[in-house]
Amino acid sequence: MALGLHEAGFHHLAVNEMDRRSLDTLRMNLADPDLAPAVRWPLLPGDVREQPWEELEGRIALCAGGAPCQPFSLGGIHRGDGDARNLWPAFIEVVKGVRPRAILGENVRGLTRPAFLPYLNYVCDWLSVPHVPPRSGETWRKHHTRLKRMVSEVPDDERYRVDRRVLCAADYGVPQLRYRLFIVAFRMDEVEVWDEAAPWGERWSWPTPTHSRDALLAAQADGSYWDVHGIAHREPEIPKSRELAVRQARSRLQSDEIRPWRTLRDALAGALDEEDFCALPEPRENQPHPDFDFHEGIPGARLYKGHSGNQLDWPAKTIKAGVHGVPGGEHVVLLDNGGHRYLTVRECARVQTFPDHWRFEKPRSEASRQIGNAVPVRLAKIMGGRIAETLDSAIEIRKTDATRSRDHLADDGPCAIQGLAG
Q: Would you place residue 191 in the very low, low, confident or very high pLDDT band (cuts 50, 70, 90)?
A: confident
Amino acid type, 276:
D
Q: Would you place residue 409 in the very low, low, confident or very high pLDDT band (cuts 50, 70, 90)?
A: very low
Answer for the pair 189, 157: CB distance below 8 angstroms, yes or no.
Answer: yes
How far apart are the C-alpha atoms of 403 and 239, rounded to whole Å?
57
Mean pLDDT, residues 43-61: 94
How far apart are the C-alpha atoms of 183 and 201, rounded to whole Å?
9
How far apart are the C-alpha atoms of 15 and 31, rounded to whole Å?
9
Residues 6+ apart with CB under 8 A from 218: 246, 247, 249, 250, 253, 260
Per-residue pLDDT tens for 325-359? Answer: 566 678 999 999 999 999 999 999 999 999 999 99
Phi, psi of 47 (to 5 degrees): -60, 130
CA distances from 2 to 311, 374, 379, 383 (A): 30, 10, 11, 12
pLDDT of 344 reads 95
**Rounded to two decimals, what is the model's pTM?**
0.90
Residues 6+ apart with CB under 8 A from 244: none
Answer for the pair 86, 67: CB distance below 8 angstroms, yes or no.
Answer: yes
How far apart are the C-alpha atoms of 214 and 261, rounded to whole Å?
8
Residue 324 has pLDDT above 70, yes or no: no
How far apart are the C-alpha atoms of 252 and 259, rounded to whole Å?
8
Q: For 266, which DSSP code?
A: H
* DSSP letters for 130-146: TTSPPPTT--HHHHHHH
Mean pLDDT, residues 309-336: 86
Answer for the pair 22, 29: CB distance below 8 angstroms, yes or no.
Answer: no
Mean pLDDT, residues 164-179: 98
Looking at the chain, the whole-number percentage of residues with pLDDT higher than 70 is 88
Fold adopted by 2-206+376-421 = Rossmann fold (3.40.50)
Helices and strands counted in the chain (H then E): 12, 11
Any idea where the domains of the chain sit in the sequence?
Answer: 2-206+376-421
